[in-house]
Homo-oligomer: A and B are copies of this chain.
């Protein structure tokens, strides 16, 4: 699979990649072991600090790794990786090394222990900022502390999960900038 050479990207601009709602691959690490999970239930929550909220149930092998390490990386896969994404979501890190099984390349992050995934054009290093919503909502509040993005394509062809094994693939783009008030951009 293709890998991307990523560059630093401003953390307060990550809405470009997350607000459209792609399925993402969350990588984590704890005590020498690494794992990857798929995640579709997430939202941007603030520009600065760059905050993301996400629902992860304790049924996931990654849950305890993220909770204990208080870190993870959100990687945005593209449509070319669709089968890999489905595969990752349908096996457990308790049984398999997902990097190995799916031929993915871990890359060292700068501020967290969890690895970036080289095959994804966007990777966001995150620290867990708030665990107080875990018990009631299984909801992690994360802060993106460092962002990496391939300069091209500006808008990666992302996957968007609809349930039932069906993914929507990102289509074209419409620029309505001229309709926006400057303070709304």
Contact = CB atoms under 8 A, between A and B. Distances in A.
Interface in A134-168: 137, 139, 141, 155, 159-168
Contacts of A82: 174, 176
Copies of this chain, complex-wide, total 2
A32 interface: no
A155 B171 CA distance: 13
A21 interface: yes
Contacts of A51: 137
A141 B133 CA distance: 11
Range, interface on chain A: 35 or more
Contact of A171 (B21, B169, B181, B184): B169
A178 B164 CA distance: 10
Contacts of A115: none
A103 to B, nearest CB: 16
B79 A20 contact: no
Contact of A90 (B40, B45, B161, B181): B181
Given A43-B54, A83-B176, A168 B166 contact: no
